[in-house]
Amino acid sequence: MEALLDVRELDKHFGGLRACDRATFEVEEGKIAGMIGPNGAGKTTAFNCVAGFLKPDGGLVRFDGEDVTGLPPHRMFAKGLVRTFQIPQELDTMTVLENLMLAGEDQSGEAVWRTWLRPGRVRREEEALEARAHEVLEQTQLGHQAYIRAGALSGGQRKLLELARALMAEPKMILLDEPGAGVNPALIRLLSEHIRELSQRLGLTFLIIEHNLDLIRQLCDPVVVMAQGRVLDIGAPDEVLANPEVQAAYLSGQRT
């Protein structure tokens, strides 16, 4: 059976720099895959090429059996592949519920003019959006925070809200770029539990870039290791971390 996400020979260049250099990996449905590698390895670039925020210079991205290479983010969102973002400060004054509704609206690529032309339909869509937002609030156990401002959330709840915003798309797959960055170990554990639960309950597939190897070990299998734009190894966490080539890449990465 074909993997849910299949990335073949992905190339992305910035001037003379090969940020992704024939990177090849796949993620099967229902897995929580990790992506590790030294700084500058091309992890974020690969993510952005997959989620549509960057156009690859070469290679193939297949998602859910379709060639989606180079599709823009809102098309990927509609197909069920989303990446999370930090919540911008401007959204701090909005409630958690409003944040979710906005995320559902934003990325659908809809135009404002429709409000004028089809007010009835827009109202129905608003209602559907709100219903979906409440569903997501339950899934992420943020239900009791629906009407508080995003700016008043704790660090951990804010991370959950980032995840919840991605869930608005009813995605098949979520990409997370360093969810553990700047988060204390207790919150990392909590976030890991939420991710695992969402994966089990909703059958969601994850791909997670993370520096925290504890989180990777607890949560991810397989782990994709990138170095200098290429995929060095893919396998179970203990397996790839025991690979001398991977260890060497990390050591040389740390010196730069």
Ligand X SMILES: Nc1ncnc2c1ncn2[C@@H]1O[C@H](COP(=O)(O)OP(=O)(O)O)[C@@H](O)[C@H]1O
Q: Which residues bind ligand X (CB under 6 A)?
A: 14, 17, 19, 37, 39-45
For Mg ion, the closer CB: 162 or 168:
162
Strands 223-227 and 32-36, sheet pairing: parallel
Measured distance CA(30)–CA(42) in Å, rounded: 24
User: Among Mg ion, ligand X, none, what does residue 157 contact (CB within 5–8 Å per kind)?
Assistant: none
Q: How far is the CB of 35 from ligand X (least distance, A)?
A: 8
Coil, strand, or helix at residue 136? helix
Whose Cβ is closer to ligand X: residue 5's or residue 10's?
Answer: 10
Nearest to Mg ion of 43, 165 (CB atom): 43
Please say which residue, 23 or 167, places its beta carbon nearer to ligand X: 23
User: Choosing among Mg ion, ligand X, none, which partner's interface includes residue 39 (Cβ < 5 to 8 Å by kind)?
Assistant: ligand X
* Least distance in angstroms from the C-beta of 8 to Mg ion: 21
Q: Report CA torsion sign: 238, 188, 89, 105.
A: positive
Local structure of 165: helix, strand or coil? helix
Tokens, residue 145? 């925070």
Contacted by 254, from ligand X, Mg ion, none: CB < 5 to 8 Å by type: none
* 45/157 with CB nearer ligand X: 45
Cβ-closest position to Mg ion: 44
Judge whether 81 and 173 are in contact, CB under 8 Å.
yes
- Cβ at position 8, least distance to ligand X in Å: 18
Check if the beta carbon of residue 58 is closer than 8 Å to that of residue 80.
no
Residues in contact with Mg ion by CB under 5 A are 43-44
Residue 142's nearest CA partner among 186, 195, 205, 100 is 100
Residues 41 and 229: beta-carbon distance below 8 Å: yes
179 touches which of ligand X, Mg ion, none (CB within 5 to 8 A by kind)? Answer: none
Residue 42 binding: pick among ligand X, Mg ion, none (C-beta 5-8 Å cut-off by kind): ligand X
Q: Pick what 95 binds: ligand X, Mg ion, none; C-beta below 5 to 8 Å, kind-dependent.
A: none
| Separation CA 213–CA 172 (nearest Å) | 25
Least distance (Å) from ligand X to the CB of residue 81? 18
Query: Which of 31/43 has CB closer to Mg ion?
Result: 43
CB of 209 to Mg ion, least distance (A): 6
H-only helix segments in 69-113: 73-79, 96-106
Q: How many helices (H) and strands (E) does the chain have?
A: 10, 10
